[in-house]
Amino acid sequence: MRLHDLKPRPGAKHRRKRLGQGESSGRGKTAGRGGKGQTARSGSSIRPGFEGGQMPLIRRLPKRGFNNKRHATVWLPVSLTALDAFEEGARVDETALRAAGLANGLAAGIKILGGGKLSKKLTVSVHAFSASARTAIEALGGTCEVVGAKPAAK
């Protein structure tokens, strides 16, 4: 097989739709634009949500109340099983977790969750711990250090 033998799979390529090629073509006369009016004209575009001068739905709905989600603290979760990737007696902090690819993205900080089992003694220094994760780390002789949480990234 050579480069000149390569071609796309059958059905992968389509001809472009040729509009306005006479009434018998099936796509003639109004060429899929319906009858007269604003959308039948060339260069016409109406912004999303525009309802022809009628009060748009987004403006008709009442906007009241408070939603706490925008003020919630978002943590990057890391399970105990993931911490087993580190060596015995290692110091695990935010930089080590990010370097290992266990905590990616923006958040208020990193939280260790108690999912899975830990089999090594570690010194873990992150922003938050679940109660079960803290007991599991300290049961093996490790230590849990809470670092001051950074302000949430917007």
**Domain assignment present for 23:** no
Q: If you average pLDDT over residues 31-57, what whole number do you get?
A: 91
**Could you write out the DSSP letters of every residue in 90-150?**
-EEEHHHHHHTTSS-S--SEEEEE--S---S--EEEESEE-HHHHHHHHHTT-EEEEPPPP
Predicted confidence band of residue 1 (pLDDT cuts 50, 70, 90): confident
Residue 39 lies in a domain: no
In a domain, 154, yes or no: no
pTM exceeding the 0.75 threshold for the entire prediction: no
Question: Domain range holding 129?
Answer: 72-146
Instruction: Tell me if 63 is assigned to some domain.
Output: no
Mean pLDDT of the chain: 90
Q: How confident is the model at residue 45 (pLDDT cuts 50, 70, 90)?
A: confident
pLDDT of residue 69: 84
Report the number of distinct structural domains present in the chain: 1
